Structure 1
Amino acid sequence: MDNKVIWALMGAGLLMIIVSTISQLKNDVARINLTLNKIAKQVGVPDTITDELKSLILEGKKIEAIKKYRIATGTGLKEAKEYVDSLSEQKLE
């Protein structure tokens, strides 16, 4: 086999390992966030981020709300948008 083909295959394999690892880390972070949210709820820690997001949505700053949620939770763009959209659909009090 040509050296270029071997290097390309090794690079592709390494890329697959990296993508798989990143995916696993994202899943771990999501699971940890769920656990922390459950603990915070049981202990009585107020959910200030949701209140802030609702305020931003009411002010018409949906993109800012998505950015703030991403920073606070470490989620990806798609997940953050889905969460903010779900807040938008709820009756905002």
Structure 2
Amino acid sequence: MDTLFLACLVVLGIWAIQRNVSQAERTAARVERKLDLVMEHLDLHEEIPNKDGIVALVREGRTVQAVKAYREATGAGLLEAKQAVDRLT
């Protein structure tokens, strides 16, 4: 019986943590969208470390390497990096 109680407690704990993480992710995404709108309104652009090197890779047709370099420079995810590199062309 103690094992069943402990298992239920663990499951409820995992569920609560997962719910909080999901809520935090939604909040972060909402804040990021708002920040993007503010930056666009103010005509500000994010500084990308090694942007010249990334642009050079794109011009050489080495898109995969450009995406990898972008990810390493910014910490962006794969989709975000691909979209950013596509905008550089």
Q: Establish whether TM, by shorter chain, passes 0.5.
A: yes
Structure 1 vs Structure 2: percent identity of aligned residues?
Answer: 12
Equivalent residues, number: 83
Q: Superposition RMSD on alpha carbons, in Å? A: 3.1
For structure 2, the residue ranges without an aligned partner over 5 or more in a row are: none
| Counterpart residue number, 1:77 | none
| Counterpart residue number, 1:69 | 74
For structure 1, the residue ranges without an aligned partner over 5 or more in a row are: 72-79
Distance 2:21 2:14 in 1: 11
Question: Which entry has the higher C-alpha Rg, 1 or 2?
Answer: 2
Task: Tell me how far 1:19 sits from its aligned partner.
Answer: 0.9
Output the amino acid matched with 1:41: E
Distance 1:55 1:44 in 2: 22
Distance 1:57 1:20 in 2: 43
Alpha-carbon distance change, 54 to 21 in structure 1, aligned in 2, over 3 angstroms: farther
| Counterpart residue number, 1:11 | 10
